[in-house]
Amino acid sequence: MQLLQVIEAECDGAIVDTLAARAGLDRSATRQALRVLLPELGRSIRAACGRQHGAAAVREAAGDERHRRYLEDPAALAEPAAAADGERVLSAVLDPDERRELAARATAASPARQAQVEKLMPLVASLAMAAIGRQIEAPAPGIPWFGSREGDHFDAPLLDAVTGLFESENRSGR
């Protein structure tokens, strides 16, 4: 299941509604912004996983229980902590220029204004970490547990989880 599908399916779509309310958008505009943000964020997370410090930061965020709450309880996305948690993720995977460029691309490709996209970005980053954490923990074909196979690397399950959640979105998002 891809990340947009996860976000839409959790809590009967209440997550998209909560994101829309937080950004001051309707559901359709929120979904359009997510279609741009998610693949781009996925590429950035995947690139961060290829760097030693980036992989550690992503793994730490993905394992953080606070992030998991955001998938399970959409109301938690309205708390200031949700944006703060997402800001930490964004700073670990995007430099300031990349962040501005991502916001500009999402704004250009959706009816959202830049300020609305900027409100969505940290919340989407928190949701991404929650989904990656869930994927890492859930035994599934193609996502081995760390150390389960000879030659496994620390970041192999992490990279597999990120690829699994963002792969088709990356292809369709171009």
Confidence (pLDDT) at 66:
79
140 phi, psi to nearest 5 deg = -150, 150
For residue 75, give the DSSP letter: G
Cα 120 to Cα 96: distance, rounded to the nearest angstrom = 16
Question: What is the pTM for the complete model shown?
Answer: 0.78
Low-confidence ranges of the chain (pLDDT < 70): 1, 52, 138-174
63, 74, 79, 132, 173 from 168: Cα distances, Å: 24, 25, 31, 15, 8
Confidence (pLDDT) at 158:
60
Confidence (pLDDT) at 45:
83
Confidence (pLDDT) at 172:
45
Confidence (pLDDT) at 75:
92
88: domain range?
3-172
Domain count for the chain, please give it: 1
